[in-house]
Amino acid sequence: MPTTYYYVDGVPIHTFYTGTTILPGTPLPKTQGKAVLFLHGAGSNGHVWVDMLQRLSSQHSPVAIDLPAHGRSGGLLAADSIEAYCAVVDAFLAVTQFTPCVLVGHSMGGAIAQLYALTHPGKLAGLVLSSTGARLRVAPAILQLWQDASMGKAVNVYGRSSYSDKTSMDIVRQGWGEQRKTDPRVRLGDFVACDRFDAMARLPEITVPTLVLGGTDDVITPPRYTAYLHQHISGAQLTMIPDAGHIGYAEQPEAMASALLAFLAQL
C-alpha cells in the first residue's frame, strides 16, 4: 500500500492511501466513490487500517493517517486533548484538500470524529463511530499503569481484554505488535485526552449522517456506549458486530467492511 507524508503545522503526517502512487505534496486523490479518512485509537497507528483500506479500495478513496507521535508520523509527544487532535485533522484535511470526506473514527479516533462533526460539519459527508463513546473515562488504575510505564517503572503489559474471547490469539498478538510501536508516554497522553473527553450533552447537535458500530463482546466501550450514541445522534444507524470485542476491524473485518460499504452506498 502506498504511503506519503504531508506536513501539517510542520509535523510530517504519515498517510496511507490506495491506488496509484502520487507525487509528494499533491492533494490526496478522491477519484472514486467517497473520500474516507480513518482515525486510529489511543496508542495505535494508521497501519491497523490497511486491511480495511484494501477492502474499500475498489469502490472508494480511503485514507488512513498516523496521528502525531504515533506510527511513522513526526511530532514527538501526544496531544493531551481531543481538541488538539481535532485541530490536526482539520489542518490535514486542508493541506490534502480531502473534503468533503467521511470520517471513520475508532475509540479515541471516534472521539476526535465526534468533536470534528460538531465543530466542522460542513467538511464532512458522513461519520462512522466505531467502538467508541460520547464520554471515554479511563480507569485510574490504567492511567497509573501508563504513568508508571512512562517513568520506566512498569513493564508494558498488554492484556486481551480488548478482544472477544472468541478471537484467536494470532489476531491478539498482531494487535499487541501494533500497540508496542507506541512510546508509553504517547499512550498516556492519549488516555488523558480520552479521560477528559465528554460530548454527551452535545450529541443531538450532530447533523452529519452517522453510522455507529460496536462489538457485541466489547468490554472497553461496551454496547451501552454505542447504544447511547445511536439514541442521541439524530438519524444515526447502528450495526452491532457479533463476536467482536473492542478491535472489530481486526476481529471481524468482513462484517465491519460490509457495514461500512452499505453505509457509504447510502450517502
The CB-side HSE value for 73 (13 A sphere, CA atoms) comes to: 31
End-to-end Cα, the chain, rounded Å = 26
Q: Which is nearer to another protein, 187 or 246 (CB)?
A: 187
Instruction: Give the three cell numbers for residue 241.
Output: 458486530
Residues 190-209: x where in contact with another protein by CB under 8 A, - otherwise, as a string: --------------------
| Residue 45 within binding range of another protein, rule CB under 8 A | yes
Q: Which is nearer to another protein, 12 or 222 (CB)?
A: 12
Site for another protein in 1-20 (CB under 8 A): 10, 12
| Residue 184 within binding range of another protein, rule CB under 8 A | yes
Instruction: Give the three cell numbers for residue 209.
Output: 449522517
Phi, psi of 256 (to 5 degrees): -70, -45
Q: Which is nearer to another protein, 68 or 126 (CB)?
A: 68
Among 153, 168, 200, 262, contact with another protein (rule: CB under 8 A): 153
Task: Tell me the closest approach of the beta carbon of residue 79 to another protein, in angstroms.
Answer: 14
CA-CA distance, 265 to 250, in Å (whole number)?
22
- DSSP code of residue 124: E
As separate numbers, helices (DSSP H) first and strands (DSSP E) second, the chain gives: 9, 8
| Residue 158 within binding range of another protein, rule CB under 8 A | no
Q: Which is nearer to another protein, 7 or 228 (CB)?
A: 7
Among 120, 160, 181, 196, contact with another protein (rule: CB under 8 A): 181
The site for another protein, by CB under 8 A, has a size of 17
CA-CA distance, 89 to 2, in Å (whole number)?
20
Closest CA to 119 of 93, 95, 86, 94: 86
Phi, psi of 102 (to 5 degrees): -95, 125
Q: Which is nearer to another protein, 190 or 218 (CB)?
A: 190
User: Which H/E stretch holds residue 101?
Assistant: strand 101-106
Site for another protein in 67-106 (CB under 8 A): 71-72, 74, 76-77
Q: Which is nearer to another protein, 166 or 180 (CB)?
A: 180
Q: Summarize as ranges the residues that interact with another protein (CB under 8 A).
A: 10, 12, 45, 47, 66, 71-72, 74, 76-77, 151-153, 180-181, 183-184
